[in-house]
Amino acid sequence: MDRAGKRPAVFLLQIGNTAMRKARAQFSANFFGCAGYQIIDNPGFDTIDEAVKQALQAKAEIVVICSSDDEYSLLAPEIHNRLKDKAIIVVAGNPASIDELKSKGLENFIHVRSNVIEILKDFNKRLGINF
């Protein structure tokens, strides 16, 4: 990132099931951290309102929703709708409801089968980071 002149920030929006959100936040921190992105972590949120407020205050270019597969259908669309014009929204995981989530505008997913290099290149391009 030194040559890029810009270090994008990634806000880990942890909400819902404690074990799953922590595991996915750690995965996401490693996923983006290996490319030098600044990781903004937190202990997690009890409400969408609280989570969105903190994400907006962080002014991160990327917000990663970290929760459980079962909770994504309820949480992710609302979070996406409230933040989509402010940041790139990413879902940490590969939930069974991925087609439903995509139909609601969520298009970025990271998981263990993701091609890390290609996805990070795409994010860099979208953020205007050139090497």
Q: What is the pLDDT of residues 4-40, one digit of tens each?
A: 567 999 999 999 999 999 999 999 999 999 999 999 9
Which regions in the chain score pLDDT beneath 50?
1-2
The overall longest dimension of the chain from CA atoms, in Å, is 40
DSSP 111: -
**Residue whose structure tokens are 């030194």:** 2
E strand segments, the chain: 9-14, 38-40, 62-66, 88-92, 109-110
First to last CA, the chain: 8
Sheet of strand 109-110, all strands in order from the earlier edge strand to the far edge: 38-40, 9-14, 62-66, 88-92, 109-110
What pLDDT was estimated at residue 5? 66
Going from the N-terminus, what domains does the chain have, and what CATH number goes with each? 9-125 (3.40.50.280)
